[in-house]
A and B are shown apart, each in its own frame.
Chain A
Amino acid sequence: MSQAQEKELICQYLSEISDPEIPVINIVEMGMVRGVLFRESKLEILLSPTYSGCPAMDMIDHLVKEKLQSKGYDSVEITLVYKPAWTTDWMSDETKEKLRAYGIAPPVGKATSKKGLLNEDPVFCPQCGSKNTEIESMFGSTACKALYLCKDCLEPFDYFKCI
């Protein structure tokens, strides 16, 4: 197996690990895996934290090691990379659709624009699709989400903020 093929295989293993907070999305789709490097006797995985205080980071670190060890990589090192900073702009449309189907409104707009960052655009209800929604709190179940309320179906829901 060539190194490129092995890398691809490793990425495939990593894509079997779901984000502990959003089980329908895996860490590769999330854009957290920034590199797979072969160092002499060990394997180095570069991960980008989604947001600074993400409490799932330790868990992810553990899951990555466990997964790769089960595939025969005994020496795995995880390095956190901060640059470029992880952004919701890296989420594909397919990933956003998975979020929506799971009940989390995906980020609207781009984090690179001030407008997107402070979510001034309408956020659609992931349940009924209405845009008649209202922000309840800037911080929801986790720091990366805001809490919204749909004024049509009256369901509260999480909105994944642009970051």
Chain B
Amino acid sequence: MELLDLSRFCMRLGDSCLIMAHRQSEMCSKGPFLEEDIAQTNLGLDLLGQAEALLIYAAELEGKGRTADDLVYKRPERGFYNFMLAEQPNTDFAFAVVRQYIMTLYLSRVYETLAKVDDETLSGIAAKAVKEIAYHQRHLGMWIKRLGEGTEESHERIQTAINELWMFVGELYEEDELDLKMQEAGYAISGEAMKAYLMANISSHLTEVTLSVPKSVYMTTGSKKGIHTEYLGYILAEMQYLQRAYPDAKW
């Protein structure tokens, strides 16, 4: 395994966790009720911790003298490799729930695989994260059910969120050269296996709670090359503001 490949792999995963953590932090004070407000921001906190550990490791493996903070605050939009799904905004509470629910299914599978690799750091990070994600999965699954089987309005709003976010799911099982290398080394499952796992879980869960899986076949692509939807730029503008206004400012 080339260190640089492993670094890029950790960066992709770390970026998705980081951007989701930022989106979840935006939920602070916007939850539908106090307990849920706390829960939503705690989901973000777990993801931020995972992002930190992954990006510290990515920076170390890269060996260019960059720190995790450099990666977070000094890369431009095209230098981020998070999935487009991760950056989608909290248009409605249902959007936040659907985004996190799908990403959580994905992460649980990714971490399960990584927990078994022959790499002390990465398998340690994954073994811890897999347990945290199990709680996310349960919590978000509860919301899918609650909104799906709730009122006519909650049903309609969550179905809208599923329909609108659906085109970003394809990236989760898309493969490029790096993915194939990681699969060969046992660090990732095949795109086909990931697709089958996601589709089986999502469709059985959605139909169980009266929701439906969209039929649309168009799926976006590009985040593995640093191509994003318009939303990432706005996230970075806010997230990187301080470091750009006051370079290398320390607390």
B53 surroundings in chain A (CB, below 8 A): 52, 82
A163 touches B132 (CB 8 A): yes
B45 touches A85 (CB 8 A): no
What secondary structure prevails in chain B residues at the interface with A?
helix
Find A82's partner among B42, B120, B135 (CB 8 Å cutoff).
B120
B35 touches A136 (CB 8 A): yes
Please indicate which of the listed interface residues A52, A117, A161, A163 has the most CB atoms of chain B within 10 Å of its own CB. A52
Chain B interface bracket (under 10, 10 to 19, 20 to 34, 35 or more): 20 to 34
B46 touches A51 (CB 8 A): yes
User: What sequence of 0s and 1s flags, for each residue 43-74 of chain A, a beta carbon within 8 Å of any chain B beta carbon?
Assistant: 00000010111110000000000000000000
Residues A82 and B125 in contact in the complex (CB < 8 Å), given A51-B49, A53-B49, A138-B39: yes
A111 to B131, CA, bound (A): 8
Find B38's partner among A85, A118, A139 (CB 8 Å cutoff).
A139
A132 surroundings in chain B (CB, below 8 A): none
A138 to B142, CA, bound (A): 10
A52 touches B124 (CB 8 A): no
Q: A49-B49, A84-B127 are in contact. List 18 more A-B contacts (CB 8 A).
A: A51-B49, A51-B132, A52-B53, A52-B129, A82-B53, A82-B124, A82-B128, A83-B120, A83-B121, A83-B127, A117-B134, A136-B35, A137-B38, A138-B142, A139-B39, A139-B135, A143-B42, A163-B128
